[in-house]
Amino acid sequence: MIDLDNTLVDRAAAFRTWAELFHRRYVPADPSAVAWLVHADADGYEPRDRLALSVRDRFGLSPRAYSELVNDLRQGMADHLEVDPQVPAALKAARTGGWTVAVVTNGDVEQQERKLRLTKLDEEVDTWVISAAVGVKKPDPEIFRHAARSAGTELDGAWMIGDSAHADIAGAYNLSLRSVWVRRGRPWQEEAFAPTMTADTCQQAIELAVASSPA
Ligand SMILES: [Mg+2]
C-alpha cells in the first residue's frame, strides 16, 4: 500500500508552484506571500474551506479572486503535479515481481482521482482507496482493510509506504504491518512507534520493500 500526496507525487512542489502563480497574479507587491501560503497550507492538512477564508482575509481578495481560489484549492493543485519518472518504473517492477499495489490516501474523491488520472498513476497501480469514499481515514485500521479487500488480497505480509508518521506509519504499526517512511529531509520524531525502514525517495521506498520480502 502506498500513500499519494508527498509520496507518489510531490504535492509540496505543486502547491508552491500554485502559490507563486497566485502571488504574481494577485499580490505581486507582497514579498512574503508565497512563504505565508506554504505555511498556511500545512502540507495540505489545513482544511480547504478554512484555508480559503484565511487567504481571503490575509490578502483582501475580491469575490471573483476568492471564488477562483476556492476552485483551485478544491482541485488540489493537480494541474501542477509532477511525478518523478523513477516512480512509475519502480511500481512496474514491483507489479512484475508479483506485488499488488493499492494507493491509500486521505482526501476528497474527485480531487484525489483527478490527481491519479492526470499523473497517469491510475495506470500503474491495481486499486486505490480514498478516505472520503469509505468514511474512514488513515491511520484508522479500517481503511487499510478496505484496501486489501479492494485489491482482492489480505493484509498479511503487506507493506505501507508513506511520508506521514501519524497517518501512514502509525497506521501500519497499529496493524503490525511493515512500513517504509519517506523522509523528505526530516528527522524521525516519534518515540512510541517507528517505521521498519526509512527512504529518501518514493522510488527507493518501493525498492526497499520489494527487496526485503517476496511478493
Ligand atoms: Mg502523504
**CATH dotted code for 86-212:** 3.40.50.1000
Interval between CA 64 and ligand 1 midpoint (Å): 31
Grouping H, G, I as helix, E, B as strand and the rest as coil, residue 89 is helix
Instruction: Categorize the per-residue pLDDT at 77 as very low, low, confident or very high, splitting at 50, 70 and 90.
Output: confident
pLDDT over 80 (residue 78): yes
pLDDT over 90 (residue 164): yes
Interval between CA 16 and ligand 1 midpoint (Å): 16
Interval between CA 168 and ligand 1 midpoint (Å): 8
> Which of 63, 61, 5, 3 is CA-nearest to residue 37?
61
| Residue 85: predicted pLDDT | 95
Give percent above pLDDT 90 in the chain: 90
| Residue 79: predicted pLDDT | 86
Note the pLDDT tens digit of each residue in 87-107: 999 999 999 999 999 999 999
Interval between CA 3 and ligand 1 midpoint (Å): 6
Interval between CA 165 and ligand 1 midpoint (Å): 9
- Note the pTM of the prediction, 2 decimals: 0.91
Q: Where are the domains of the chain?
A: 11-80, 86-212
Interval between CA 51 and ligand 1 midpoint (Å): 18
Note the pLDDT tens digit of each residue in 110-133: 989 999 999 999 999 999 999 999
CA distance 197 to 157: 15
For cell 490578502, the residue is 59
Tell me whether residue 211 is exposed, middle or buried, using C-beta atoms within 10 angstroms of its C-beta: 0 to 12, 13 to 18, 19 or more.
exposed
Whole-number average pLDDT of the chain: 95
Count the neighbouring beta carbons within 10 Å of the beta carbon of residue 214: 8
pLDDT over 80 (residue 29): yes
